[in-house]
C-alpha cells in the first residue's frame, strides 16, 4: 500500500505534524543528519594537526626562554666581540656583527645607520680607549635577543669627551643561522651623588 507524500513527510519530519494547518513540506527528511565516516575522520585529523601546530608554536610566542643557556652564552660572547671591535676599531668585525638594516641611537640622540657607524670607525672620528661592561642581562624571545648592560667608557667623539658611565640596550636577531645586531640605544648615567646634593 503506497503512502501519499504528505503522510511520508509527516512520518519523517516531525514539524510537519501540523497537518491541520496544511504546512506540510512534502519532502521526506531524516530526523538526524550525519556526515559520512570518511568526512568525520578527515575533520578529526585536521583538528588534531591544528592542535599540534599550536602546541609547538606556543613556546616561541610565550615569555622568554628559560632553557636557552647556550643562546645566552652565545649572545654574551658576541657582546665581548663587539666591545673588542669598537676598542680596536676592527671595522671588518663590526661589519660582520651589524645587520644591514641596523639603527643605533647614541646618548645624545643621534640616529646612526650601519654605514654611518662603520664610516665613523674608519675615519677615526669615534675613538674608544677602554670599554668595560658589567651587569649584562640577556633575554631571548625566539629569534630575538635583548641585552641590557652598564658600560664604563673612556673615549672621544671628534673633539668631545664621551667618557662616562652608560646604560644601553642592544637587540640581536637571528637571520640565516647568524645573530646580527639590529638595534642599539645608549643613555648616560648621571652622577647620583651630585643629584643628591641639590
pLDDT in tens, 145-154: 999 999 999 9
81 and 44 share one domain? no
Among 20-29, 108-117, 135-144, the range scoring the smallest mean pLDDT is 20-29
- Report the alpha-carbon distance of residue 125 to residue 142 in Å, rounded: 36
- Report the alpha-carbon distance of residue 13 to residue 44 in Å, rounded: 30
Q: Is 31 in contact with 14 (CB distance < 8 Å)?
A: yes
**Of the candidates 34, 61, 88, which is a domain's last residue?**
61
| High-pLDDT (> 70) share of the chain, % | 63
Residue with cell 651589524: 98
43 and 76 share one domain? no
Which residues form the domain of 162? 69-197
30 and 77 share one domain? no
Check pLDDT > 60 for residue 30: no
55 and 109 share one domain? no
82 and 155 share one domain? yes
43 and 104 share one domain? no
- Report the alpha-carbon distance of residue 188 to residue 168 in Å, rounded: 9
Q: How far is CA 26 from each of CA 14, 81, 195, rounded to the nearest angstrom?
A: 12, 83, 91
pTM of the predicted model as reported, rounded to 2 decimal places: 0.64
107 and 49 share one domain? no
- Report the alpha-carbon distance of residue 49 to residue 40 in Å, rounded: 14
79 and 49 share one domain? no
177 and 112 share one domain? yes
Average pLDDT over every residue of 17-30: 52
The structural domain count of the chain equals 2
79 and 31 share one domain? no
Average pLDDT over every residue of 19-32: 53
Partners of 178 in beta bridges:
175
**Which one is predicted more confidently, 70 or 46?**
70
Among 32-46, 88-102, 152-166, the range scoring the smallest mean pLDDT is 32-46
- Report the alpha-carbon distance of residue 126 to residue 162 in Å, rounded: 9
Q: pLDDT by residue (tens digit) across 51-107?
A: 665 555 544 444 444 557 899 999 999 999 999 999 999 999 999 999 999 999 998
116 and 154 share one domain? yes
106 and 182 share one domain? yes
Among 27-31, 83-87, 129-133, the range scoring the smallest mean pLDDT is 27-31
Instruction: Place 141 in a pLDDT band, splitting at 50, 70 and 90.
Output: very high
22: left (phi over 0), alpha (psi -120 to 50) or beta: left
Please report, for the domain that includes residue 115, its CATH number.
3.10.450.50
Q: Is 104 exposed, middle or buried (0-12, 13-18, 19+ CB in 10 A)?
A: buried
Among 47-51, 95-99, 162-166, the range scoring the smallest mean pLDDT is 47-51
pLDDT at 68: 72
Amino acid at each position: 500500500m503506497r503512502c501519499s507524500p504528505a503522510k511520508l513527510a509527516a512520518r519523517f519530519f516531525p514539524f510537519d505534524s501540523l497537518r491541520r494547518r496544511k504546512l506540510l513540506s512534502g519532502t521526506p527528511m531524516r530526523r538526524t543528519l550525519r556526515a559520512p565516516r570518511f568526512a568525520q575522520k578527515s575533520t578529526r585529523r585536521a583538528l588534531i594537526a591544528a592542535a599540534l601546530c599550536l602546541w609547538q608554536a606556543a613556546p616561541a610566542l610565550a615569555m622568554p626562554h628559560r632553557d636557552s643557556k647556550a643562546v645566552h652564552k652565545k649572545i654574551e660572547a658576541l657582546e665581548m666581540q663587539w666591545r673588542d671591535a669598537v676598542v680596536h676599531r676592527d671595522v671588518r668585525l663590526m661589519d660582520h656583527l651589524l645587520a644591514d638594516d641596523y639603527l643605533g641611537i647614541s646618548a645624545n640622540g643621534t640616529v646612526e645607520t650601519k654605514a654611518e657607524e662603520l664610516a665613523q670607525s674608519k675615519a677615526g672620528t669615534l675613538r674608544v680607549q677602554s670599554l668595560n661592561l658589567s651587569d649584562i642581562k640577556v633575554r631571548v624571545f625566539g629569534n630575538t635577543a635583548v641585552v641590557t648592560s652598564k658600560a664604563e667608557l673612556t673615549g672621544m667623539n671628534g673633539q668631545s669627551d664621551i667618557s662616562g658611565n652608560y646604560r644601553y640596550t642592544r637587540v640581536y636577531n637571528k637571520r640565516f643561522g647568524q645573530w646580527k645586531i639590529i638595534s642599539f640605544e645608549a643613555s648616560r648615567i648621571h652622577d647620583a651623588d651630585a643629584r643628591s646634593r641639590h
